[in-house]
């Protein structure tokens, strides 16, 4: 089956290694997740591939994303690295291949690596292509380069303490779906009083409240968890409809707190 849109929630695998990654993917799929997100840099593509093959869920029913690291952005490197990713993932294609970060200091021209990414799509290595950690200006540039080739998503950090409003709004204006990584702010949402209060009133967890808030903005959350109980609760958060009042209260938590901010990051909006 070919996916015309991103599934509404994904299972993130950042920081999951070895058996933890393998078991978490298998468990997520058994609970009903159909969107699995990994990256070359996570060092777990092989284990993610194992989790998928051992799940018993047909590959065609799973939306699989990987991301190309910034040391593989020269055209020939990019295609070769994607072939390597597919071998580790034990599949002949990914549903979505992303550029993990724009080339630091524009060392590799965007035209070169996005052109190579489009070539990989034409070769059938990736069903869809997209970007990650791109600013508003970089999205505009990417769109100009790719023309009629759709940018399936821009995957950026989104959680109650980093609403990332400008980027989300700009992507949506351009018709690019936003995927929100770290929707639980690496666990910090559990400690927030506002989220705790709303969760207590609604018989939810603070994590479910945070995920519901991300989803209410039309952003696809990709929470990461190794525990089946948490995975199930995160999946069920999609059914939660927050009131306007609750959304407003969560909106006020935005403090531009960025967790993923390496020294090679672009100048953020």
pLDDT in tens, 9-57: 999 999 999 999 999 999 999 999 999 999 999 999 999 999 999 999 9
Domains of the chain in start order, with CATH, are 11-182 (3.20.20.100)
pLDDT digits (tens, 9 = 90+) for 141-194: 999 999 999 999 999 999 999 999 999 999 999 999 999 999 999 999 999 999
In contact, 48 and 89? CB cutoff 8 Å: yes
For residue 157, what are the β-bridge partners?
A: 181
To 10 degrees, the CA torsion angle through 188, 168, 79, 113? -120
In contact, 29 and 228? CB cutoff 8 Å: no
CB-based contacts of 249: which residues, under 8 Å, 6+ apart? 194, 198
In contact, 65 and 36? CB cutoff 8 Å: yes
Q: Which of 72, 86, 9, 64 is nearest to 41 (CA)?
A: 72
Show which residues are catalytic: 42
pTM: predicted TM-score of the whole model, two decimal places = 0.97
- How many Å apart are CA 93 and CA 78, to the nearest integer? 14
Determine how many CB atoms are found less than 10 A away from the CB of residue 166: 12
Q: How far is CA 195 from its chain centroid?
A: 23
């Amino acid at each position: 089956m070919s996916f015309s849109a991103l599934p509404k929630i994904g299972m993130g695998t950042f920081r999951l290694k070895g058996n933890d990654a393998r078991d978490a993917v298998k468990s997520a799929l058994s609970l009903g997740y159909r969107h699995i997100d990994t990256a070359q840099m996570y060092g777990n593509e092989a284990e993610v591939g194992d989790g998928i093959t051992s799940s018993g869920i047909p590959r065609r029913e799973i939306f699989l994303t990987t991301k190309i690291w910034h040391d593989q952005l020269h055209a020939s490197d990019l295609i070769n690295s994607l072939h390597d990713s597919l071998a580790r993932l034990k599949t002949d294609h990914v549903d979505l291949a992303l550029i993990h970060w724009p080339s630091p200091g524009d060392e590799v021209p965007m035209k070169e690596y996005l052109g190579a990414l489009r070539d990989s799509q034409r070769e059938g290595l990736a069903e869809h292509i997209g970007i990650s950690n791109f600013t508003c200006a970089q999205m505009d540039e990417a769109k100009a380069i790719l023309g009629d080739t759709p940018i399936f998503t821009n995957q950026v950090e989104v959680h109650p303490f980093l609403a990332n409003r400008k980027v989300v709004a700009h992507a949506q204006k351009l018709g690019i779906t936003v995927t929100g990584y770290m929707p639980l702010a690496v666990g910090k949402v559990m400690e927030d009083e506002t989220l705790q209060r709303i969760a207590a009133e609604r018989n939810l967890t603070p994590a479910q409240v945070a995920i519901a808030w991300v989803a209410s903005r039309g952003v696809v959350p990709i929470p990461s968890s190794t525990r089946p109980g948490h995975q199930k609760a995160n999946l069920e958060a999609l059914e939660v409809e927050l009131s306007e009042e609750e959304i407003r209260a969560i909106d006020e938590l935005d403090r531009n707190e960025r967790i993923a901010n390496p020294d090679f990051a672009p100048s953020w909006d």
